[in-house]
Amino acid sequence: MSRTRGKSISPAASPVKFTLQVTSLLTSSGTKALQTVGIHLPGTIQFLPLHTPTVCIRSTLCQQLLPAMRGQGEVRLPQNKLNIILKGINMKTIRLAKYNVATIRYTAGLITGTALITCVLCSWAVPLPYYDGFEYAEGRLNDVGAPNWQAGSTGWELMVTNVAALEAPEGFPQAVGKGVRRAPSGTARRSVLAFDPIQAADGNEVYASFLIKILVPPPSTQVIGYLTSTSSSESSPQAGVFLTPDNRIGIGKRASSPGYTLGTNLDSGVHLVVFRYRFQPGNDEVSLWVDPPVSTFGASVPPEPLGTTTGGSDPSSIGYFQLYSSPSSGGMQYIDELRVGTSWRDVVPSGAPPMGSKLIFSSCPTWAKPGQILDPVTVQIASSSGTPVSSNGVPITIDVEEGPGPISGTTTRLTDESGKAVFTDLMLTVEGIYRLRAEASGIGLGLGAATSPVIQVSFLEPPTTLTITGWVYDKKGYVLAGVKGTPQARYNILASPDPAIPLSNWMVATVGDFDSLGNFRITNPVSPAIPRMFYAIIGPTSNTKTIPPSIVASPSHITIAPGQPFSLHVEATGPYLHYLWLKDGQILSDKTEPTLAIGAAKSTDAGNYAVIVANAAGATTSTWARVRVGLFAPEIIVQPQDQQIVQGGTAVFKVVADGTSPLWFQWYFNGVAIVGATNDVLTLTNVLPERSGEYWVVVSNSLGSIVSRSALLTVTETPTASPPTNMVGFAAIAGVTGGAGGFEVIATNYTQLRTYCRSNAPLIIKVVGRIEANEDYCYIRAPNKTIIGVGTNAEFVGDLRINTTNIIVANITFYNPDNDGITIDTGSSGTGAYVWVDHCTFIDCGDGSIDITKGADYVTVSWCKFLYPTRRTHAYVNLLGSSDSETESIGKLHVTFCYNWYGPGCIERMPSVRFGKVHVFNNYYDCPGNNYCVRTRLYAEVLVENNYFQSVQNPWERYVTRGPSGLLRAIGNITNNCVWNPSWTSGVELIPGTDYLPSFDPMPYTYTLLPAEWVPYYVTRYAGAGKPPYVEE
């Protein structure tokens, strides 16, 4: 975005030139440094008057020069000289950034004399009209927005971030850049914009506008921005915009509370706020508009305001806009697209009007009797986003798209001025299920056609409860349609192989959402492995979890002598599984068990075998297993791999071989047979440096032998550095502080913990001993909390649910057999964001250990340990984005996973990422028997860096459903004794991990990256609860 910077000044007729010799630079900390290179510093230069205490005047020469040396110009420092071209600007239009940490003071010597003066680089006043789309780097507004944004006080409470970028309303100019996250933490923060001051003359006006999205309302009424006459902080600004706890916008005139407040609560969408300061006889006036009509965009005269107020003393000018974060904590809003000007048109400009691109049915009946006139059917011209578009005289024709009979009546009508065509005499005469189709012609040619919801035509009265109205089923799949659901609510299609099973035990086959009229229609595939299945629909429900089959172990290659029996076996997980074996691509219709047993092997049994594993939620096919019948010497399928470990660690070498059974194995180290090492896997524990060297295996049978390649083991010295325990990653970007500065409280029971978590005050909550929840969720509803376990035995049984901001959870062991250990998502009190989970242990959590969904953002999970020692179903660890339709997570879910230990029993989601921008580094994966570790899904970007994967399946993979495929980049990882399986479940793609990730170029933060071979050493010693730095080592 191009912006004009500084004031527009008419040059003086004869500018005066002064050349000053720079002798030193005095920084804000008081240190001095010689200026030796040229620097360009555009801005305002002010030579301070004599009475200013910070200026040292050392000669009468300076006093003589000061009256002339008041001006503004371009500052350059070539060759150690400060050249100033003065332009005769009036002194009072210059703004001095008195308290800005970026203020720079120069001590300069006048070349023509011996006098010293001090000059200050000031914030400049931007010209009006002014527009800011916050197209800066991410960071604190006063840092990244300088020099436009200065003064005030710098903090993460006012942060420029992509997350806060808002979409402009239809008819408004397109939004660009980022936005500002406003998240009060208990310390007052301001960012100040100085503009050309508007003088106090009757009739002069100053307007400002911005977009706002309220994620979490404040706990009390707060001023969020204001127009005023000073760069100082004001509790009663000249024109203040306020936000109330019930999501209402207000305006105040020289007051600490609003004099007028909007009568309606704002919803969770994006809103346009406009306010005005008017100089007038008597008391000046301030006015407020919220979401003005599109027809007023770009108008020369504003519409009537929603409210006005007056009061207090009036200023001599208005020259500042300030964004303000309250000294009281709580709440979070996004602010974007700021405009300041002197007219309505300056701050509410008109963008391109919405263009008609398609038709929509804005009203349509869902039931009618045969031969009875339908309730009115309305077709509307709309934009691509569904916004109604005015367009008069467009011919619209309605016909039957699906259904057993024709439609009669006036089927072609013209749209009115609002773009609507209303059909009042349509009739369907044949019973059945219908869908109508609307098409435009004439001047509307090219508008997209529309399909209506389902219309049931029947002599029976319309159903009053959810009803299935359409059902088609064959071996390829089923189509299901129905009416009378809850509009916009979610429904589940349930399935069971036996209708006698209680409905509560049926599995979720698929999920969907009823449309705006409560109708639904869904198509779902059915695997040939399923001989019979029964279906039901329930709704509304929030459940989105389907559990398709997962193959834990595919059948293995085998070579068998003629006449010997053999079997192939698949191990899979999931409810209500069905199996169907294939040979050379052909179905073996009678082979429907997990084990395929063959009697005496014949030559015709040789071939490639696989098995389909299916349930109502999906199906997958195993990898192919080669069966050979005959006498074959050994051959090696997978060679042992080189390894690099730290002293004291564990090395695992594995070989995969095939040949006529039985096969014998003998491992060697530097040419010497290892006693007892006679299996296909060689495991070395507590390895010392002297075990470095070459390892290989000889595989033999009665027909011959084969020697594997040599695998090199390198053992490095034990690291001596302390582990990095500071907060890093996305939580660090957000400046998470938790309850710092608040009172310390002790929680020894659930009542205490629940009370403290819901308190509005910043708190450091110390958990002592074991606490068990007596409800589904322990909500953290108010911000600024640190929840930290004391010692080595702090435990919580339940789901800690975070629906607020600035939270730290540390040094606690979580158990929950029924749900998550920690859930970070959106609830009635807001959205979980700016969260650090550190040094916690999660054991046998029934859903996910930590799930981060529904728009949660800026989270770091570090030094945690995840275990499932007894649970073998749904041992799914970290889910980011709960479904493909979770659009509130687009542009959010910025999460860092670092130094974590995914231990035995972890099956998948370590993590699984939809939508998010996720950094996964220095984690240890030690969970053999898993499905996969890291998964990228639609819209995701995942950076997988310097992790250690030990004996796991699919260290990373891509899962394809719909929408843009997820991206993943893998750098510097160690994959020791790992298996890559593309067919353990449907939709999986094995990828090299070479995608370009725009969100990580450049990296958004600094961090300590350990060498991958060090990861097992550090993580196994320091991850989990009860470890340093929370207890002494």
Whether 415 and 382 have beta carbons less than 8 Å apart is answered as: no
CB-based burial of residue 886 (10 Å sphere; 0-12 exposed, 13-18 middle, 19+ buried)? buried
Locate tokens 């389907």: which residue? 546
Question: Six-digit token pair at 662?
Answer: 């039985």
- The answer for residues whose C-beta is within 8 angstroms of residue 445's C-beta and 6 or more apart is none
DSSP string, 473-524: EETTEEEEEEE---TT-EEEEEEES-TTS-GGGPEEEEEEE--TTS-EEEEE
Locate tokens 């301030």: which residue? 286
How many Å apart are CA 214 and CA 738, to the nearest integer? 21
How many Å apart are CA 317 and CA 309, to the nearest integer? 18
* Strand bridging mode 317-325 / 189-199: antiparallel
Helix (H, G, I), strand (E, B) or coil at 188: coil
- Quote the strand ranges of 845-999, DSSP E: 850-852, 857-862, 865-867, 879-880, 894-898, 901-902, 912-913, 917-921, 924-925, 934-936, 941-945, 948-950, 956-959, 967-971, 974-976, 988-989
Closest CA to 380 of 361, 398, 355: 361
- The answer for residues whose C-beta is within 8 angstroms of residue 683's C-beta and 6 or more apart is 650, 651, 652, 653
Question: Six-digit token pair at 557?
Answer: 């290659």
DSSP letter at 345 equals H
How many Å apart are CA 661 and CA 112, to the nearest integer? 101
Asked if omega into 911 is within 30° of 0 (cis), the reply is yes
Per DSSP, what are the bridge partners of residue 438? 398, 450
How many Å apart are CA 345 and CA 350, to the nearest integer? 8
CB-based burial of residue 565 (10 Å sphere; 0-12 exposed, 13-18 middle, 19+ buried)? exposed
- The answer for residues whose C-beta is within 8 angstroms of residue 813's C-beta and 6 or more apart is 789, 794, 795, 796, 840, 841, 842, 843, 1024, 1025, 1026
Q: Residue length, the chain?
A: 1033
How many Å apart are CA 886 and CA 245, to the nearest integer? 27
Task: Please state the φ and ψ torsions of residue 463, each to the nearest 5 degrees.
Answer: -65, 150
Whether 116 and 108 have beta carbons less than 8 Å apart is answered as: yes
Whether 780 and 761 have beta carbons less than 8 Å apart is answered as: no
How many Å apart are CA 31 and CA 24, to the nearest integer? 10
Per DSSP, what are the bridge partners of residue 272? 211
Residue of 95, 189, 435, 909 marked catalytic: 909
Buried (b) or exposed (e) across 137-155, using 16+ Cβ within 10 A? Answer: ebbbbbbbbbbbbbbbbbb
Question: Six-digit token pair at 228?
Answer: 């005023």
Task: Please state the φ and ψ torsions of residue 704, each to the nearest 5 degrees.
Answer: 155, -170
Task: Please state the φ and ψ torsions of residue 679, each to the nearest 5 degrees.
Answer: -120, 175
909 part of the active site: yes
How many Å apart are CA 467 and CA 463, to the nearest integer? 7
Cα atoms found within 13 Å of the Cα of residue 922, Cβ hemisphere only: 25
Please identify every residue annotated as catalytic: 909
